[in-house]
Amino acid sequence: MVGTSAASARPTLRLVEVAAEEAARIPTGVAELDRVLGGGLVPASLVLLGGEPGVGKSTLLLTALAAVSGTRRALLVTGEESVAQVKLRAQRLGGAANVEILAETELDAVCATLQAERPDVCVIDSVQTLYAADIGSAPGSVAQVREAASRLLRAAKGAGVATILVGHVTKDGAVAGPRVLEHLVDCVLQFEGDRYHAHRVLRATKNRFGSTNELGVFEMTGAGLVGVPNPSELFGRTEGGEVGAAVACALEGTRPLLLEVQALVAPTDLAMPRRVATGVDPRRLAMIVAVLSRHARVALGQADVFVNVAGGVRIDEPGADLAVALAIASAARNTPVHDGTAIFGEIGLTGRLRAAAQAERRLEECAKLGVRAVVAPHGTPSRASPRLLEVDSVRAAISAGLEPANGERRAEAER
């Protein structure tokens, strides 16, 4: 009931009376990480780095700590690996001689150390190994993880320590862990990539101090993670004349990115043909398949459709729709996309195309990488190079983007 509580009212402030200075960010020394954070670590902020086992979380953060330790105090709290294991990794990566290290899993001891030592940056590897004796459940349980994060939050804010928590995520991202912390922390970073491929993608899914659209790309090498400043060169290549491949010019934050989209269309007897997407939202794929069937005469009712984005990158942006559609159409019709062509544009349910955001930027990236022609919706500003093929529907995009089918190919497809 209202009015029965014993607490007394507190004075409030107007914002004009609040003194606040934006503190200078702490550069992590890893350019791709700084980009995703929005220009470096904010002092006294709490960041969660999630990722599947073995993706390279410890490697990335030790590299950052090594760079930070050149000018500031950097502390690594390791609950997962022994001090000797960390030392071996540090030797492999180099430059980490001044990083301070603490092997500890007891939550209160870690908090007390933060308050006493007050390093500028602290990494907790991992939040799942921390343990508070007064909470009954086992380490890694939801209750323990949540308690660890909230006590660390208080300690870190109090002592002015920028803290990065490492959290393990399983394939479905569910199990007791990082997901329950997302609302507590200032920034959630996701480190993704295929353990079997060398490339890793870092993105922010929540950021109180910057955009969430930025993307960092790394390559895992024996000497650690190396930033890839120009990922388009890596992911945007196709073999000329290959059927079922199209180059999308997608926008990730402020960064245009050329990405190869691959599609396979295979006849099936299944009543519910499969639509399998890797790197593309499955609902988006279902929509594109439906639009292709209904508005572009690409019959896919009796075919399984598989779509894959090169390099393990995930596309979240509608501007990549048209490239996905052309890759599928190319696979279905067994004709390649014109060599040296990139594609962007958003597909509407009516089959009509909508101009994609920041077309100028995308065209610039295409020009930089030697793309000769771009298929894009009407209303895209034209420039000298690459040549712009303006289209208004998915159907028109298919005629503009695909090589004409010759009789032989068509006969083979129908067989």
Which residues are near ligand ATP by CB under 6 A?
A: 51, 53-59, 80, 92, 168, 195, 220, 222
Q: What is the spatial distance between Cα 354 and Cα 368, in angstroms, rounded to a whole number?
A: 24
Q: What is the spatial distance between Cα 205 and Cα 311, in angstroms, rounded to a whole number?
A: 20
Binding region for Mg ion (CB under 5 A) out of 50-58, 116-124, 193-201, 273-281: 50-58
Examine residue 63 and tell whether it contacts Mg ion (CB under 5 A).
no
Please say which residue, 123 or 263, places its beta carbon nearer to ligand ATP: 123
Please say which residue, 86 or 374, places its beta carbon nearer to Mg ion: 86
- Answer with the entry of ligand ATP, Mg ion, none that 51 interacts with (C-beta below 5 to 8 A by kind): ligand ATP
Report helix, strand or coil for 326. helix
Please give the backbone phi and psi of residue 122, each rounded to the nearest 5 degrees, phi first. Answer: -135, 135
- Answer with the entry of ligand ATP, Mg ion, none that 78 interacts with (C-beta below 5 to 8 A by kind): none
Q: How far is the CB of 130 from ligand ATP (least distance, A)?
A: 14
- In contact, 313 and 279? CB cutoff 8 Å: yes
User: Where in 172-289 does DSSP place strands (E)?
Assistant: 187-193, 199-207, 215-221, 224-227, 245-252, 255-267, 275-278
Distance of CA 96 to CAs 85, 88, 89, Å? Answer: 13, 11, 9
Q: How far is the CB of 53 from ligand ATP (least distance, A)?
A: 4
Q: How far is the CB of 214 from ligand ATP (least distance, A)?
A: 21
Distance of CA 69 to CAs 95, 306, 350, Å? Answer: 9, 46, 56
Q: How far is the CB of 225 from Mg ion (least distance, A)?
A: 13
Q: Which of 177, 84, 164, 73 is nearest to 125 (CA)?
A: 164
Q: Which of 41, 51, 55, 58 binds Mg ion (CB under 5 A)?
A: 58
Q: Which helix (H) or strand (E) holds 123?
A: strand 121-125
Please say which residue, 58 or 144, places its beta carbon nearer to Mg ion: 58
In the chain, the amino acid numbered 341 is T
- Answer with the entry of Mg ion, ligand ATP, none that 167 interacts with (C-beta below 5 to 8 A by kind): none
Q: How far is the CB of 168 from ligand ATP (least distance, A)?
A: 6
- Answer with the entry of ligand ATP, Mg ion, none that 53 interacts with (C-beta below 5 to 8 A by kind): ligand ATP
Give the CB-nearest residue to Mg ion.
58
Site residue total, Mg ion (CB under 5 A): 1
Please give the backbone phi and psi of residue 235, each rounded to the nearest 5 degrees, phi first. Answer: -100, -15
Residue with tokens 């004349």: 241
Structure tokens at 109: 């001891």
Examine residue 129 and tell whether it contacts Mg ion (CB under 5 A).
no
Residues that bind Mg ion (CB under 5 A): 58
